[in-house]
Amino acid sequence: MDICYKFSKESFLDFFKLMQSFGQVHAPVRVSEQSFSFRPVEKPEQIAFEALRTILPPKKMFFPQRETLISYSGKEVKDHTPEPLAQVLFGVHPCDLAGLGIMDNIFSAGPPDSHYLARRQATLVVGLSCMPDKHCFCNSMGTDFPHSAYDIFLTDIGEDYYLQIATTLGEKLFDPKPDFIKTIDDQDNQSYKDFWTNRDKAFTSNFKSDNLKQIFDLEKDNPVWEELGKRCLSCGNCTPVCPTCYCFDVIDVASLDGNSGSREREWDSCQFTGFAKVSGDFNFRPGPVDRLKFWYRHKLHGFDDSYGLKTCVGCGRCTVSCPADIDDIVGVVLRLQASQNESKKDESA
């Protein structure tokens, strides 16, 4: 159970300095009129508290877009396991926390990924409450409330932040307890409940997710896949922005003389034409329809079979970033559910 306190928004500078005492603070920063990105910050004024979704999710902090695994020179081979400095990741919303939890499960499963875990264990994660926009559907995915993957979580309750401390790492940050941290009372608890109740009512885009496995099994040949596949550009935009897409490729980069080189890991996408291509010039998913259907199924069904979790957290990034307007997950699911309902009516007629 979380340890709960509060502090006034006027004292945020004190809280920020406390985070800095742990390590470099990374937070959402405005990088264009419409876009935000997790970047290092040195003062609270740099933080974009209004940021709802960053271009890339928090996974980039622990699973870089490209990194060196090993390098060699002559007969010498060097392992490049990182030794990261302590850092703070501030401003992570509930859906992204759920995404981090899924990534933690993936990269800690045997054999564990030492690169990911080294960065993850060196990071203090501070969550922050938010209000949804028209693209958010985390309430449909059960990721609209902070359940895990954070050390500290802040909920906006007006003039104060309601502070929840969930881990030993979070507790150590407040030991000894600083003066700006105050004890909560019944009114604070009520304000906390009111915020989450009002937030729940603010969602405008949603669907029922309890029958997704059945829907994706029964609607695998639905015409919607052909329709979307014909518009898909196979650009792969939907995968880097997804908080839980973790596919990567491993490539060897050799010097011209062949005496030195490195083995690199870089992000890959199941939407690329060559992703499922194997020797013998055979491709398991040769067309956009095959690849798009696979991605949807993995997000909303496939991972559920093994882990009991869906890997879509309802953040809306894929919908916002898709140039062909086909990654409207809510719209697609509603269409599939409607088709299934029609089928049931026909069977009962």
> Across 114-271, where does the E strand assignment appear?
123-128, 152-156, 160-165, 248-254, 260-267
Instruction: Specify the pLDDT at position 59.
Output: 97
Instruction: Specify the pLDDT at position 347.
Output: 65
Q: What is the pLDDT of residues 16-72, one digit of tens each?
A: 999 999 999 999 999 999 999 999 999 999 999 999 999 999 999 999 999 999 999
> Across the chain, where does the E strand assignment appear?
3-8, 24-30, 36-41, 66-73, 76-79, 87-92, 123-128, 152-156, 160-165, 248-254, 260-267, 277-278, 282-283
- For the chain, the average pLDDT equals 94
Residue scoring higher pLDDT (344 or 267): 267
Instruction: Specify the pLDDT at position 110.
Output: 81
284 three-state secondary structure? coil
Instruction: Specify the pLDDT at position 348.
Output: 63
Instruction: Specify the pLDDT at position 94.
Output: 98
Q: What is the pLDDT of residues 181-229, one digit of tens each?
A: 999 999 999 999 999 999 999 999 888 888 888 888 889 899 999 999 9
| 310 token code pair | 């869906």
For residue 110, with 0-12 CB atoms within 10 Å meaning exposed, 13-18 middle and 19 or more buried, which class applies?
A: exposed
Neighbours of 31 (CB within 10 A): 14
Instruction: Specify the pLDDT at position 243.
Output: 97
CA–CA distance, 3 with 281 (Å, rounded to integer): 57
Q: What is the pLDDT of residues 56-110, one digit of tens each?
A: 999 999 999 999 999 999 999 999 989 999 999 999 999 999 999 999 999 998 8
